[in-house]
């Protein structure tokens, strides 16, 4: 079975661009879908950015997350935008029964930078026949300069195997990669404080220090985008 693939890479210097909420490649895949009247489940919805982006095009959108504060923010955003078809429910996407949460056939399951093997299996089981799983997650090359593959980063081959094992037909797997150059490690720490904190805690910051020293530095931000059909 033929799977459509794409590798897209860009290079940029920090301070010369703005990050988008979504990978451009992911938005393109979403825009290919006719969501009219569709029931959509958004995994790891956070403050609802993806759910609320899709709500004007869909029939009903349900976002789930374990962060109650983020869900409260999502509900407020929905109210302020006048979106009455978006619902936000506290639930763990790694262990929840998606069908029981949504209580109607699920046409689409989507995820933006939330991914796990458990979520892939649950999505495969919960979609209606003909439903689709659309996602963007960290690719194995994400932050490759740190010398370590992240726990929730996936190669295309590994993701293809997971999707296929769940009974999904893979339609597309693409890598959307941006290599960003910084003036030095201090600029990385300033630009991405959460990354700095994470790397300090798990030792990856030392790997960057060894690699780049006091000179210019770079980080690869790499996203795996996929579409699979039940």
Alpha helices in 57-177 (DSSP H): 68-80, 98-102, 117-126, 156-165
pLDDT-based confidence at residue 1 (cuts at 50, 70, 90): low
* Mean per-residue pLDDT, 153-169: 97
Helix axes 156-165, 117-126, angle to 10 degrees: 40
- Taking the CA atoms of residue 221, residue 188, residue 21 and residue 166 in that order, the dihedral angle to the nearest 10 degrees is 40
Task: Name the residue ranges covered by the structural domains of the chain.
Answer: 4-177+222-229
The architecture CATH gives domain 4-177+222-229: 3-Layer(aba) Sandwich (3.40)
* Mean per-residue pLDDT, 84-104: 97
* Mean per-residue pLDDT, 65-86: 98
| Tens digits of residue pLDDT in 188-198 | 999 999 999 99
Mean pLDDT score of the chain = 96
Q: Is 228 exposed, middle or buried (0-12, 13-18, 19+ CB in 10 A)?
A: buried
């Amino acid at each position: 079975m033929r799977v459509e693939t794409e590798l897209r890479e860009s290079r940029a210097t920090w301070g010369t661009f703005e990050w988008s909420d979504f990978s451009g490649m992911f938005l393109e895949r979403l825009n290919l879908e006719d969501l009219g009247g569709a029931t959509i489940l958004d995994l790891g919805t956070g403050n609802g950015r993806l759910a609320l982006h899709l709500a004007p095009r869909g029939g009903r959108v349900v976002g789930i997350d374990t962060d109650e504060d983020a869900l409260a923010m999502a509900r407020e955003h929905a109210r302020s935008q006048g979106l009455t078809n978006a619902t936000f429910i506290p639930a763990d996407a790694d262990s929840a029964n998606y069908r029981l949460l949504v209580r109607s056939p699920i046409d689409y399951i989507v995820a933006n930078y939330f991914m796990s093997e458990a979520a892939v299996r649950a999505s495969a089981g919960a979609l209606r026949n003909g439903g689709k799983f659309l996602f963007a997650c960290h690719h194995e090359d994400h932050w490759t300069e740190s010398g370590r593959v992240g726990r929730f980063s996936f190669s295309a081959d590994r993701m293809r195997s997971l999707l296929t094992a769940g009974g999904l037909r893979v339609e597309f797997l693409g890598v959307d990669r941006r290599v960003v150059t910084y003036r030095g490690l201090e600029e990385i720490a300033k630009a991405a404080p959460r990354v700095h904190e994470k790397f300090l805690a798990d030792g990856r910051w030392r790997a960057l220090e060894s690699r780049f020293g006091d000179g210019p530095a770079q980080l690869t931000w790499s996203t795996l985008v996929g579409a699979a059909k039940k």
